Structure formats: C-alpha cells, structure tokens
Amino acid sequence: MKSKIFKSISIILSLVLLCSVFVPYTVFAAEDAKIIVSTETAKAGETVDITVSLNNNPGIVSATMNVKYDDSALTLTKVTDAGVLGAQSHKPEYTSPYTLAWANDTATSNYTVNGTIVTLTFKVSDNAQGGKLYPVELSYNYNNYDIYDKDVQLIKFDVENGGVNVEKSSSNPVQPTEANPSGTTITPGFYLVGSEAVCGVEWGWEKAWENGTPMSKASDGTYFKVYNNIKSSKGNTVDGINDVYAFKVVYVDASGKITWHPGGMGNNTLVVVLEDNSTVLFQFKLLAASPTTEGASPEAVIASVYGPNETKPDISNPNYPEKNTVVDNPTTPANQTPTQAPTQPQITDTTDTYVAYTTSSNSVHFNATGKKVKAKALKKKTMKVASIKIINPRGKVTIAKVKNGTTSKIYKKLIVTKTSVKLKRGTYKKGTYKVKIKVTAAGTTIGKTKYLKGSYTKTVKFKIK
C-alpha cells in the first residue's frame, strides 16, 4: 500500500515539474534611461536654442554633466534651467566644456521628471560653415557618482547627443539695411578704426567694413593685423596728448552693424610712432565669450611698432604667432597682408609696446556629494563620506573644513582633501552629519587677464547608518 502511495506522489510531482517547464512566462525589461540633446537648424548669425531632456528617468537627486561644443562656431549666450530638478549650481562662465549641476543631498524623494531640464542658447557665428552640423555633446562620469538617487545609488543614462545644423547660405543678394543701405556684401569680423594715418580713414565708425579687410585669426586664437608705411606720429594730438595715434577695435556683423569693444583698452588706446615708414602690428585675444555682445572685449590690445630698419613680423605664416618668424623690409602697401616671406630667426622686439590689462573675478566653485556609510564599518577603518569636484579654479587651490557649520562632534576627525572628505576610524552614532567646506583659489594672470583671489563655501551632508 505504501509503495502505491509513493508511486502516486512521484507521478504527481513529475506532472507538476513538466507543467512548470512548458507554461510560458513574460519578463518585463524597463526601458533604458536616456539624456537627449536636441538637434536644431539655424542660419549663420542667428540664435538657436538647444534643449537637454530626460526620458524614462528612474529618479535622481543629483547630477553633474559636461557639455562640449565647437566654440569657434557656437557661442553660449544663455542657460535657462527648467527648475524641475531642484537646486542647481551651473558653471557661471559660458565656456566649453560647460558644466551643468544639480544637487539635492537632503532630498527624501527622487526627482522623476521627464522632458526638458535645461535650455542652452547659442549664437551661431557669422562665419559658420553652411551645410555643416556642429555637435553639442553631453557626457558624465558614471563611476564618479555624477548621477545618483536618494539612496546614493548610481543611476545610468544613455546619452543621445545633438547639435546645430547650419543652413547653407542662399545666393540672394544682401538686403539693404540702415547700417548698410547700399546692400554691399560685408565680411563679418573685427576691424581697426582710429587715426587716419594708421587705419586709412579717420575713425570710420559708420562704415568700418569699407576700410580694408577684417583682422586675421591665428591658430592659437590671436587676432592680428599689420599696417605698413606709417608716418611718424610727431605733431598728432589725441584728447590733448601730443605725438600719438589712437585706435579702437570694433566688431562688424553681416548686416553692417558695428559693436564697440572698449573693455580692457580705455576710451582711447594710444600708440607712438617715432619714424616715418614704420610698421605697426596690432594683436589681441578675446576675453569674453561672445564677440558680438556689447562690451565683450579683447583681453588686451598690443600695438608693436617696428622702425623702417627693423625686422618685421611674418604674419603670412599660417601658424603666426606661434612660430613668430620675421621678414625683412616688407614692401606690401598699407592695409594689405604680405603673401610671401622667407623664414628668419625669431624677433627680438625692442620697440615700445602698449599693453592694457583687465581684471576678472575668480569663478572657482565645487560640487560635493555626501555618502551613506555604516557605523560598523567605521569602527574598523577610515572611510570616505563625501566626494568633491573643484570647478574653474584660477590660481593655486586650497581647501579647508570650517568649524562653524560642521557637526562639532566630528570636526577633529574629518580629513578634507581636494577630492574627498574622509572620517577617521571610530565609534559614531547613527544619523546625519554636516561638514562645511571652503575652497579658495589664489588668483593668477592668464595672458593679459588678472584673475582675483576668490573662494566658495558649501555645506555637505552625509549619513551614518
């Protein structure tokens, strides 16, 4: 009897197993989270909005992203946060790569919003190539806790990058405007205006573009132009100053509109020319991101004067001023550029050079991410309780913990470095702790820009559980 019972049970179990094998089941795989950078179309000289959006967002509280773009064709002019990811600390300087950052370390719930999180507004260069896509590329470091949720768990997003498609220019003639009533084709760029003896036309504000060609741009970003056969400035007076010439830099767009660039140069920049038939070289680099914004300035304009018997700069070299070769006694007419020049030794410039410096605030700041650590683990070893990323320092960087604002019981046991905060081994109660951090950049001089000393302070929270 027992044997029959066991046989019946075996048969039943076998049937159950067979059914479990052949009964179909479905696995529901969540769609991948994605960050999407839009692709838009614009014409050279226009403004265009590029959006950054989230799709299938599983929920986050903190995110740091870098946006890279071709700053020779695109100039970032505005950043509009959608206000849907909590507190933001985006990079204050509009330069590439540009840093987007949201941090909500004390949030008790995730931000699960989808759609646009920020809009980047770009000005397309007048010289942007038609028919070309200029990429706008977003990236982040997954392993550096650039994106995480309320439980400090890493969240991974795929990235779909975009950019700006520049339309091909039409063959239609230039339409007359108030700045250009004749409808003349204008080459956009930087032009020099000033004393007639140097620039050809006395100031020429109204039609700077009719006075020769715009300044050339070297491979290192230096704008430059040379004027030959300049007579001595002796006897010329500017604003009560004797024996000088004056000059200014203006930007002219495709419509003929002129933008002054006074910053870093004073109201009038002066140059002394001692001898007739001299050569004057003007050069500068841009300080501000957008050349067409009122007040965006060259970091400094240098005017170097070479007498008739001195060696001259070889601006025909495509790598000028990096190679800085020279040519003897150029005979090219004024307002023109030499087309051929032999390679000579480097210039030893003993001429008078007039340099204007600009000062700028220090934009140093940092992102900090608190972590969750176990009290049991802290009894055995020192542990990292927060990560730090310092952004845009100008000059030597120092970092320190600030007593006023830090949980007093742990102040002496905190180790703060430029990349992390660590808590020394010991016994701690479970709970939330605070550490106040101050980062200071000493300031420095880059090119002709003097960056001032600056600091940034922030409180970071972490948990012991």
Phi, psi of 279 (to 5 degrees): -120, 135
Structure tokens at 282: 């003007």
DSSP 178-224: SS-TT------EEEEEE-HHHHSSBS--TTGGGSS-PPEE-TTS-EE
- Of the pLDDT bands very low, low, confident and very high (cuts 50, 70, 90), residue 449 is low
- In this model, does residue 35 exceed pLDDT 70? yes
Residues in CB range of 25: below 8 A, 6 or more apart: none
Q: Tell me what percent of the residues of the chain surpass a pLDDT of 90.
A: 35
- In this model, does residue 42 exceed pLDDT 50? yes
Return mean pLDDT, the chain.
Answer: 74
Q: Say which range, 34-48, 312-326, 359-373, 415-429, has the weakest mean pLDDT.
A: 312-326
Give me the pLDDT at residue 306, please: 78
- In this model, does residue 365 exceed pLDDT 50? yes
* Cα atoms in the Cβ-side hemisphere of radius 13 Å centred on 178: 2
Just give the CATH number of 365-464.
2.60.40.10
Please state whether the peptide bond connecting residue 97 to the residue before it is cis, i.e. omega within 30 degrees of 0.
Answer: yes
Instruction: For the chain, give every domain's residue range.
Output: 34-166, 189-356, 365-464
- In this model, does residue 39 exceed pLDDT 70? yes
Task: Give me the mean pLDDT over the 359-370 stretch.
Answer: 76
Structure tokens at 286: 């841009």
Per-residue pLDDT of 378-432, as tens digits, reads 999 999 999 999 987 888 999 999 999 899 999 999 999 999 999 999 999 999 9
* Common-topology check for domains 34-166 and 365-464: yes
Spatial distance between the Cα atoms of 203 and 246, rounded to a whole number of angstroms: 9
pTM score of the predicted model: 0.39
Q: Per DSSP, what are the bridge partners of residue 351?
A: none
Give the fold, CATH level 3, of 34-166.
Immunoglobulin-like (2.60.40)
Residue 174: Cβ-neighbour burial (10 angstroms; 0-12, 13-18, 19+): middle
